[in-house]
Amino acid sequence: MGKRDTKQHILEVAADIVHLKGFNATGIQEVLAAAGVPKGSFYFHFKSKEDFGLQLLDFYDGHFDGLLQKALAGPEGTVLEKLRLFFRGFRDYFAGCGYTRGCPIGNLAQEMGDQNEAFRQKIAEVWQKMTGAVAAALEQARQVGELPVDFPVQKTAEFIVNSWEGALIRQKITRNSEPLDLFEEIIFGKILK
Amino acid sequence: MGKRDTKQHILEVAADIVHLKGFNATGIQEVLAAAGVPKGSFYFHFKSKEDFGLQLLDFYDGHFDGLLQKALAGPEGTVLEKLRLFFRGFRDYFAGCGYTRGCPIGNLAQEMGDQNEAFRQKIAEVWQKMTGAVAAALEQARQVGELPVDFPVQKTAEFIVNSWEGALIRQKITRNSEPLDLFEEIIFGKILK
């Protein structure tokens, strides 16, 4: 592998481990073993464990908004139907892993937000993009008349993402789709009207 | 201190440390030092770190519902106004600690829900009580005509607690009251109608 490929490979492997276990509980040695790379290679690409964590956040960044863009670009259905299917896609993903894992950004916000200012700032950027993507979808829905002209797009997008993150935590405890189903029912049945 | 007092003292000191740092990042030594008790005393009361964590969950248990009962017992205002003030009380608490910490139950759900089945089950019980307390408040509001007769009390209570937990995570990143203000605005302005 070239240097860029090695770095990408380490991040891919690490993203999965950190998603499962959290950042503090993930050891560099474990990442090296899983990725099959020597220690020197890791420290060539990452100055420290903190630097590695921040670059991991960059790696996660854009995943949520990228998937949402793709969902909205689909040919069929209204904007709000596409947004609903986007969230259902995640529900199907979580069903496939026993409702564990949660959102890597929400997990790191909970774990690191109070502990590390550099993490907090980076998470703020990534979270802002998730909210921005949902706000853009709602704005599109508003412009085609699926939502009232005076619908509070930005606030509602923020509430939706926050509530989504809460449902993902709850799901780790219920181990079923109920929190995500309830999220869908109330957001689409009561809020997006 | 008597044995019961020592145990209570350890739990009080530990509750604060775990609330701040999380469970895995909290060392037994740190708890012992902060509580000023010897190791033997700790292991007299707790079989293991896991047992200590589970007893800590019992210690947190009832805090949320106890405060809500107290808020509802107040003489003035409608049931929904009292419920709103209850959540505002938490917002004031978080304002006082720079919007850090979050909910100990939500934190432990995120940190331990996937990692430890005994924790997951205990958190499920505690969380159920939080939801039950909010459901009881909504049922009271329904019975006195503040909510429609057919209002979906249980589902809405679950959604409220999940969204609250999400807002508390978001707050660790924004470091201001916006996520909790938005929670209040949408829950009380749009959902509880």
What's the gap in Å between the CA of A112 and the closest CA on chain B?
9
Give A-chain residues touching B186 at CB under 8 angstroms: 155-156, 159, 191
Mean pLDDT of chain B: 96
Cβ of A113 within 8 Å of Cβ of B172? The answer is yes
Cβ of B111 within 8 Å of Cβ of A110? The answer is yes
SS3 of B170, please? helix
Angle, CA of A27, B106 and A68, to the nearest 5°: 80
ipTM over 0.85: yes
Mean pLDDT of chain A: 96
Residues in Cβ contact with A142 at an 8 Å cutoff, skipping those fewer than 6 apart: A148, A149, A151, A153
Residue A136 CA to residue A128 CA, distance in Å, equals 12
Give A-chain residues touching B120 at CB under 8 angstroms: 172-173, 175
Other Cβ atoms within 10 Å of B58 Cβ, number: 12
pLDDT value at residue A141: 98
pLDDT value at residue B105: 97
B→A interface, C-beta within 8 Å: 20-22, 24-25, 100-102, 106-107, 109-111, 113-115, 120, 123-124, 127, 155-156, 158-159, 161-167, 169-170, 172-175, 178-179, 182-183, 185-186, 190-191
Cβ of A173 within 8 Å of Cβ of B20? The answer is no
Residues in Cβ contact with A48 at an 8 Å cutoff, skipping those fewer than 6 apart: none
**Parts of chain A with a pLDDT under 50:** none
Could you give the percent of chain B with pLDDT greater than 90?
95
What's the gap in Å between the CA of A39 and the closest CA on chain B?
25
DSSP state of A158: H
Are B102 and B172 in contact, with CB atoms under 8 Å apart?
Answer: yes
pLDDT tens figures, B103-113 = 999 999 999 99
pLDDT tens figures, B19-34 = 999 999 999 999 999 9
pLDDT value at residue A1: 67
- Closest partner CB to A165 (pick from B120, B127, B166): B166
Residues in Cβ contact with A158 at an 8 Å cutoff, skipping those fewer than 6 apart: A131, A135, B170, B178, B179, B182
For residue B2, name the pLDDT band (cuts at 50, 70, 90). Answer: confident
Are B188 and B80 in contact, with CB atoms under 8 Å apart?
Answer: yes
pLDDT value at residue A3: 72
> How many helices (H) and strands (E) would you count in chain A?
10, 0
* Reduced DSSP (H G I as helix, E B as strand, rest coil) percent helix, strand, coil of chain B, to 5: 75, 0, 25
pLDDT value at residue B38: 95
Other Cβ atoms within 10 Å of A61 Cβ, number: 18
* Listed residue (B47, B69, B51) closest to B119, CA to CA: B51
pLDDT value at residue B178: 98
> How many helices (H) and strands (E) would you count in chain B?
10, 0
pLDDT value at residue B32: 96
For residue B17, name the pLDDT band (cuts at 50, 70, 90). Answer: very high
For residue B1, name the pLDDT band (cuts at 50, 70, 90). Answer: low
